[in-house]
Amino acid sequence: MNTRSLVVALASLSTLALGGCAAAPRVQLAVAAPAEPPAAAAPAMVPEPEPAPEPRSVDAIAETCARGPRSKVCGLSLEAVREICKSGSPSRAARAFGGAPKLTRAYLRGDAVVWSSIRGARTTKGTALLDEEVLVLSEASARGSVIVSGSAVSYEVLRWNGSCATLSDGELTLRAPAKPRRPVDFDVLDAPTRDWLSGERVGEAEAARAAACAREPFSARCTAAIERRDDAIGRAFRAAAKKQPAR
């Protein structure tokens, strides 16, 4: 091979080599766009619960009482008694003593450990004191309930603390004592009831009781202040009853 033929051959090889090393065509990869997040589902509409109906006042319930032919009291049905006794509200009880003229007032003949035999009543054993004022809700014999042992008739009564109690006729008297006890605890009353009960004279008497009993809770001074407060409540209730229209 002559020199010229060798040069031409080398040139051809160079061209092939350069062609083989040429850059491969770029491949464009398709990149998917990020997926949109799913739209948040609208919250389910939950209907608001209807507010619980306000409990009827004891005064309103007392309008349903009826006096039996041999009964000394205007008695309520078992359902009505349960409606009152399941509450256990001192505020509701205080308003009952001031505004349920159809219900009979009775008084303890002596100290007694008391509780209610009414099923569903909010009650625990407690001590009722001599001359404590209670409201008679019904006669046990009239509503077919359990009769207190040794008694022909027993009564379901409402106390000032909001609880109910089942008492025998031997434990109660309908004759008011000289100084009835009205053991209302002003500290546990709701604000509207406390304001309603704390008229001018009652409010002053309660303030005096609180001051006297805070210093000497078991003294004669405290006892006298309690008696004056209880008497002021009784006077206020009697004055309010006189203003009630005739029924």
Residue 88: CB partners within 8 Å, gap ≥ 6?
Answer: 122, 123, 162, 163
- Does 70 reside within a domain? yes
3's CB contacts (< 8 A; 6+ apart) are none
Residue carrying structure tokens 């349920």: 100
Closest CA to 188 of 158, 168, 149, 160: 160
The predicted pLDDT at position 147 comes to 44
Predicted TM-score of the model (pTM): 0.72
Q: What is the pLDDT of residues 162-201, one digit of tens each?
A: 999 999 989 999 999 999 999 999 999 999 999 988 887 8
Sheet holding 154-158, edge to edge: 164-168, 154-158, 133-139, 104-108, 172-173
Give the span between the Cα atoms of 198 and 22, in whole angstroms: 106
Q: Is residue 28 included in any domain, yes or no?
A: no
How far apart CA 22 and CA 82 sit, in angstroms, is 102
Question: Taking the C-alpha atoms of 232, 206, 103 and 88 in order, what is their torsion angle to the nearest 10 degrees?
Answer: 180
> Which residues have a Cβ under 8 Å from the Cβ of 236 and sit 6 or more positions away?
98, 197, 199, 201, 202
Residue 52 lies in a domain: no
Question: Is residue 98 one of the residues assigned to a domain?
Answer: yes
Number of domains in the chain: 1
pLDDT digits (tens, 9 = 90+) for 110-139: 999 998 888 777 777 899 999 999 999 998
Q: What is the pLDDT of residue 188?
A: 93
pLDDT score, position 143: 46
71 in a structural domain: yes
* Mean pLDDT taken over the chain: 79
Within-domain flag for 83: yes
> Is 26 within a domain?
no
Please, what sign has the CA dihedral across residues 211, 216, 218, 224?
negative
Q: What are phi and psi for residue 226, nearest 5 degrees?
A: -65, -45
Of the CA atoms within 13 Å of residue 76, those in its CB half-sphere come to 27
1 is a domain residue: no
- The parent domain of residue 151 ranges over 58-177
Q: What percent of the chain clears pLDDT 70, i.e. is strictly above it? A: 70
Spell out a b/e string for 64-100, using b for 16 or more CB atoms within 10 Å of the CB, else e: ebeeeeebebbbbbbebbbbbbbbbbbbbbbbbbbbb
